[in-house]
Amino acid sequence: MILEKKRIKLRDLRLSDAGFIVENAKDKDIIKYTFVIAPPFGLKEAKGFIKKAQQEIRLKIAYEFGVELIKTKELIGTINLFNISKKNKNAEIGIWLAKNYWGKGFSDEALKLMLDFGFKKLGLKRIQARVLHKNVAAQKLMKRAGFKLEGRLRKKTFLHNQWFDDLIYGLLSSEY
């Protein structure tokens, strides 16, 4: 499956993407707020992650896509819709990009593509994001996309030997 915008496309992950994921799993600035590629994350874990993502897409229970630059065909991160409830028509969203691509609008484009997919293609009524309270960049991204801060779960997540509050952001299809 491929979803395209001006500069990027969202595509299924390939086993050949494992090296990119492993490399970025070593970057402390990326992993400090990321649940998906938390260490230890080697080639075996990356390949397992990709195979699981491929299976979940086939089963239509989650969608983990690679974010790829159209111009260079270079993978720059991943974005996912998960915890999909068909009954309640909602899901959770998450995204991370390689550090070289921060602050260039690629996250906004990828998020827009995934929201279009979730709301228009899957018929979801609500998409939420869980953001750690110290991740200011992700909070700003969610606000730019129209998400509303709905709540704070105090000391909900223990990651890298510290406690974080989870901030819950929500966006309804009627607001999108």
Residue-by-residue pLDDT tens, the chain, 176 positions: 678 888 999 999 999 999 999 998 888 888 878 876 666 678 999 999 999 999 999 999 999 999 999 999 999 999 999 999 999 999 999 999 999 999 999 999 999 999 999 999 999 999 999 999 999 999 999 999 999 999 999 999 998 889 999 999 999 999 99
d(CA 99, CA 153): 28
How confident is the model at residue 31, as a pLDDT?
Answer: 80
- Domain ranges across the chain: 2-175
How confident is the model at residue 1, as a pLDDT?
Answer: 63
Residues whose CB falls within 8 Å of the CB of residue 18, separated by 6 or more in sequence, listed in order: 43, 46, 47, 50
How confident is the model at residue 32, as a pLDDT?
Answer: 77
Residues whose CB falls within 8 Å of the CB of residue 51, separated by 6 or more in sequence, listed in order: 15
Strands (E) located in the chain:
2-4, 8-12, 63-69, 75-85, 90-97, 126-132, 148-159, 162-172
How confident is the model at residue 38, as a pLDDT?
Answer: 62
**Alpha carbon 174 to its chain's center:** 22
Closest-CA residue to 57 (of 119, 129, 2)? 2
The conformation of residue 50, written as its DSSP 8-state character, comes to H
How confident is the model at residue 30, as a pLDDT?
Answer: 82
- CATH 3.40.50.1860 is held by the domain 2-175: no
